[in-house]
């Protein structure tokens, strides 16, 4: 008899992806079959995103499609936590035929709903699940979620109302997961959370045990432990609190990737105050300068919001001046858009759409030559790359430098050296060494040197 099969649709950010991986791991542990399509599935789980209005629509459409194609649908994720204007579940109101709705990080509730509508199989041999669980990323990199929720209340964000306050995973548990990933062949671990710098605050930095040794549940100590694993460690969502300085020496020593994803969102102190941003009082330009003094190779990624309510022309110009000074390597800038339920919606000085749009374009245009200069500094360097794939048509490897996170940053096209008789002997998921020979707006070109 074939196993009952669950179709799975995973939408949203890396944090939602980790929730999906947990549910998939549990499904496989209990002997369910998992399908990437509706066909052949006895029931479909849709993991949704509710962050911005476009994501809400995409999630609602995906649920509608799953209902039409399959009929038995369970909804989880951020959109599941949203209420309609009448006060009930928004999803249940739009799609009353869904079988169950849960919020994010609710593996137990999702499994309970699945058991109710698709009883679990009884086969003791099917609970053979790999120790590292089921992952949705390629085999060679993985996201490691170190905490849930957030203690801040940024005025444009509704994540805390959907995911609650910060709940950190004890460092021993995080390290066991990281070690299992490395054992399974993962070469790059991407640390994610809503606020990586705040890791452990809720646990009062409690001491836990890693391989029998006492270690505090705190960002610096976690990073020191991860650095011992011998794989690429990349840090995302790091707010510029003073203790971030403690990890820069590890980056300079090559133990952790010299890469920081710091979502500044703006530069002007008054806008940051209206945004209620964490670490808004920090002197960010001085911090960046000091970080680069300690670790000259540091790549900084950041995101900004243009046209926030009340943003004056002078504040917008202040942001442009900040970008000139900060020389951020990788930058995303979003047009401010009100999110249902966010405090910023009630702020005075909401700007017309055209102004917000024009300011976003001005930020991107201002940053373009800065990014180009930052990219060009790679030319002439011999670097270690991680190979993500092969482009057979172009005849090159697709790889990334330490300065490129998967999916959001650029890539490196690595061509064989026409003057070398050494064949290219590397595969996806392995490291190689290459000489960077050219740079474009986001991507780089390189010539293969050796397998590492
Ligand atoms: S730090 Fe701010 S933007 Fe980020 S999750 Fe927390 S409240 Fe939202």
pLDDT in tens, 306-333: 999 999 999 999 999 999 999 999 999 9
Strand pairing of 73-77 and 431-439?
unpaired
- Higher-scoring residue by pLDDT: 47, 82: 47
- Looking at residues 11-26, what average pLDDT do you find? 83
Q: What pTM was estimated for this model as a whole?
A: 0.77
Q: How many residues does the chain have?
A: 452
**pLDDT-based confidence at 34, cuts 50/70/90?**
confident
Between the CA of 303 and the centroid of ligand 1 the distance, in Å, is 13
Ligand 1 atom nearest 160 alpha carbon: 7
Asked if residue 31 has pLDDT above 80, the reply is no
Ligand 1 atom nearest 153 alpha carbon: 7
Residue with the smallest CA separation from ligand 1 atom 2 is: 154
**Cα dihedral across residues 200, 111, 73, 407: positive or negative:** positive
Residue 73 · residue 48 · CB < 8 Å: no
Q: Which residues line ligand 1 (CB under 6 A)?
A: 150, 152-154, 157, 159-160, 194-195, 278
Ligand 1: residue of 78, 151, 194 to mutate (most ligand atoms within 8 A of CB) is 194
Q: Which two tokens stand for residue 5?
A: 């099969």
Ligand 1: residue of 14, 78, 152, 238 to mutate (most ligand atoms within 8 A of CB) is 152
The pLDDT tens digits of the residues spanning 68-93 come to 888 899 999 988 888 877 777 889 88
**pLDDT-based confidence at 132, cuts 50/70/90?**
low
The pLDDT tens digits of the residues spanning 185-195 come to 999 999 999 99
Residue with the smallest CA separation from ligand 1 atom 1 is: 152
pLDDT at 125: 46
Between the CA of 194 and the centroid of ligand 1 the distance, in Å, is 6
345 contacts: CB under 8 Å, gap ≥ 6: 338, 339
Ligand 1: residue of 195, 197, 262, 304 to mutate (most ligand atoms within 8 A of CB) is 195
The pLDDT tens digits of the residues spanning 243-299 come to 999 999 999 999 999 999 999 999 999 999 999 987 665 688 999 999 999 999 999
**Cα dihedral across residues 369, 372, 373, 374: positive or negative:** positive
The percent of residues above 90 in pLDDT, for the chain, comes to 61
pLDDT at 300: 97
Ligand 1 atom nearest 150 alpha carbon: 6
434 contacts: CB under 8 Å, gap ≥ 6: 382, 383, 385, 399, 412, 414, 446, 447, 448, 449
Asked if residue 123 has pLDDT above 70, the reply is no
- Higher-scoring residue by pLDDT: 235, 137: 235
Asked if residue 11 has pLDDT above 90, the reply is no
Between the CA of 67 and the centroid of ligand 1 the distance, in Å, is 33
**pLDDT-based confidence at 358, cuts 50/70/90?**
very high
pLDDT at 420: 77
Ligand 1 atom nearest 276 alpha carbon: 2
Name the average pLDDT for the chain. 90
């Amino acid at each position: 008899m074939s196993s009952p099969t669950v179709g799975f649709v995973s939408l949203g950010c890396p944090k939602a992806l980790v929730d999906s991986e947990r549910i998939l791991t549990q499904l496989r542990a209990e002997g369910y079959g998992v399908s990437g399509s509706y066909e052949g599935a006895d029931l479909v789980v849709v993991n949704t995103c509710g962050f911005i209005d476009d994501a809400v629509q995409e999630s609602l459409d995906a649920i509608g499609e799953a209902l039409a194609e399959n009929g038995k649908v369970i909804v989880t994720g951020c959109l599941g936590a949203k209420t309609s204007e009448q006060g009930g579940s928004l999803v249940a109101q739009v799609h009353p035929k869904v079988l169950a709705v849960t919020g994010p990080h609710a593996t137990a509730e999702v499994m309970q709903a699945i058991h109710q509508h698709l009883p679990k199989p009884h086969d003791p041999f099917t609970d053979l699940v790999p120790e590292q669980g089921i992952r949705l990323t390629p085999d060679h990199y993985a996201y490691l979620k170190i905490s849930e929720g957030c203690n801040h209340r940024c005025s444009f964000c509704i994540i805390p109302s959907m995911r609650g306050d910060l709940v950190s995973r004890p460092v021993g548990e995080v390290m066991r997961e990281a070690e299992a990933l490395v054992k399974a062949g993962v070469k790059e671990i991407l640390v994610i959370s809503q606020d990586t710098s705040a890791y452990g605050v809720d646990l009062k930095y409690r001491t836990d045990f890693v391989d029998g040794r006492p270690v505090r549940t705190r960002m610096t100590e976690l990073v020191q432990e991860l650095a011992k694993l011998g794989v690429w460690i990349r840090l995302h969502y790091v707010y510029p609190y003073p203790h971030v300085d403690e990890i820069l020496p590890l980056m300079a020593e090559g133990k952790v990737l010299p890469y920081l994803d710091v979502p500044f969102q703006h530069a002007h102190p008054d806008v940051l105050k209206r945004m209620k941003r964490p670490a808004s009082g920090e002197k960010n330009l001085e911090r960046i300068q000091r970080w680069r003094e300690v670790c000259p190779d540091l790549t900084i990624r950041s995101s900004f919001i243009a046209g926030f309510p009340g943003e004056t022309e002078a504040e917008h110009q202040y942001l442009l001046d900040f970008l000139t000074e900060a020389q951020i390597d990788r930058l995303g800038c979003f047009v401010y858009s009100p999110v249902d339920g966010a405090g910023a919606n009630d702020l005075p000085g909401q700007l017309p759409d055209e102004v917000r749009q024009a300011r976003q374009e001005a930020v991107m245009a201002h940053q373009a030559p800065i990014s180009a200069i930052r990219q060009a500094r790679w030319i002439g360097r011999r670097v270690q790359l991680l190979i993500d794939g092969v482009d057979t048509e172009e005849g090159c490897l697709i790889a990334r430098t330490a300065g490129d996170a998967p999916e959001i940053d650029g890539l490196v096209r690595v061509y064989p050296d026409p003057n070398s008789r050494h064949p290219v002997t590397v595969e996806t998921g392995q490291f190689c060494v290459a000489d960077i020979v050219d740079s474009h707006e986001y991507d780089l070109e390189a010539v293969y040197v050796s397998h590492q």
